[in-house]
Amino acid sequence: MAPNFGAKKVTLKFLSEHLGLSRTTISVVLNNSPIASTIAPHTRERIFQAAKEFNYKPNFFARYLNQGRSYLIGVLSPDLAEGYDATLLAGIEEFLVGSEYHFFVASHQWSEERIKRTAQLFQERGAEGVIVVNSDFFPEINLPLVRIGRSAGARKGTSLILDNHAGIHQALEYLVSLGHRKIAFIKGHEGSADTEDRWKAMVTAAQELSVVIEPTRVVQLEQLGLRPMGHLEEGARCAQRLLAQGGDFTALMAFNDISAIGAINCFREADKNVPGDISVIGFDDVAEASMIFPPLTTVQQPLRQMGETAAEEIVAAITNGPKTQQIVFTPQLVIRKSTAALRKRTPVRARRPQGN
């Protein structure tokens, strides 16, 4: 059982005097510095045992002052509550847990002002690098940078991008193979890193597959007012608008899975059967996509892999210097139960009057 030192904090100096070792040696071992492997295994074991026995907590502020290093990475994302961001963060954490780096996360809810303030905060808190998720705008900062998603303003750093054209073409081609021609679309937010590229992919695929994109079948995700609205609610609102604009469609392609799920909920409330009346395809393949009813057909992004790669690249940029490069990931269509062949409607014929 560890000794009770009350409120007194166990310091590096205390451990040094207790073990008869220099503070530098103890710090090198506990911080897992590269030269720690040169210290005898028996000595390393003594240090770890003492740290555990006395419940020693390293003073990271002192470490920053002594080494000029924080080992902190800032992560900026639009909305931490959605499955897309959560899966990416899981990948980032998966890689960093085996390193000496830690990350802290902030969301901006599509506000450029919040993005600017957060960029400044990252620098003030001593972040050594920044990962930006799905945000087209980010100010110039003097730190290594990795972006997840396309950005028109990405002039330096590493960008991890998805081949949207391949994913969209797979999805639209599949709907066409099921007999659908009257297809509705939910576009992404303005400012979302992939919105315009994905929409260009949609227009190109529609032309190649002879699908006419009618203006009355196109709506866009948007935040209204100051209260943040989840993509689930936004998707439902988009579906309501599509139905109000005539509802003349047999399939829907949504910008992401969460808005697709919101749309399915709206269709259900409007007594529309999915996929009997309307087939629905999402994008991302978040965890919720396979759990809803019916399970959602979607374009799968390798989100966890992208998160791990982002973490690996930012650590490499901090260690070896930043690069300007693009890393492209290929999506895959995952077919589930929210899509079906177009139901052929049998015309109703007038009954012939019976003779006497």
3-state secondary structure of 76: strand
Q: What distance in Å separates the CA atoms of residue 290 and residue 334, rounded to the nearest whole number?
A: 10
Is residue 7 scored above 70 in pLDDT? no
Task: Give the alpha-carbon dihedral of 286, 292, 294, 298, to 10 degrees.
Answer: -10
pLDDT digits 0-9 by tens, 43-79: 989 988 988 888 887 666 556 556 667 889 999 988 7
Is residue 202 scored above 80 in pLDDT? yes
3-state secondary structure of 90: helix
**What average pLDDT does the segment 157-166 reach?**
94
Q: Identify which has the larger pLDDT, 242 or 35.
A: 242
Q: What distance in Å separates the CA atoms of residue 220 and residue 190, rounded to the nearest whole number?
A: 9
Is residue 175 scored above 90 in pLDDT? yes
- Of 28, 24, 4, nearest to 16 (Cα)? 24
Q: Identify which has the larger pLDDT, 97 or 299.
A: 299
**CA end-to-end distance (rounded Å), the chain:** 104
Per-residue model confidence (pLDDT) at position 166? 97
| Helix, strand, coil percentages, rounded to 5, for the chain | 40, 15, 40
Number of Cβ within a 10 Å radius of residue 110: 19
Domains, the chain, with CATH or none: 12-67 (1.10.260.40), 72-162+304-330 (3.40.50.2300), 164-301 (3.40.50.2300)
**Kind and range of the H or E element at 18?**
helix 12-19
Is residue 346 scored above 90 in pLDDT? no
Is residue 246 scored above 50 in pLDDT? yes
- Of 130, 80, 118, 72, nearest to 96 (Cα)? 72
Is residue 5 scored above 70 in pLDDT? no
Q: What distance in Å separates the CA atoms of residue 287 and residue 223, rounded to the nearest whole number?
A: 23
Is residue 164 scored above 90 in pLDDT? yes
DSSP designation for 118: H
Q: Average pLDDT of the chain?
A: 86
Per-residue model confidence (pLDDT) at position 16? 87
* Most confident residue range from 140-154, 188-202, 241-255: 241-255
Q: What distance in Å separates the CA atoms of residue 320 and residue 200, rounded to the nearest whole number?
A: 36
Q: Identify which has the larger pLDDT, 269 or 5.
A: 269
Per-residue model confidence (pLDDT) at position 137? 80
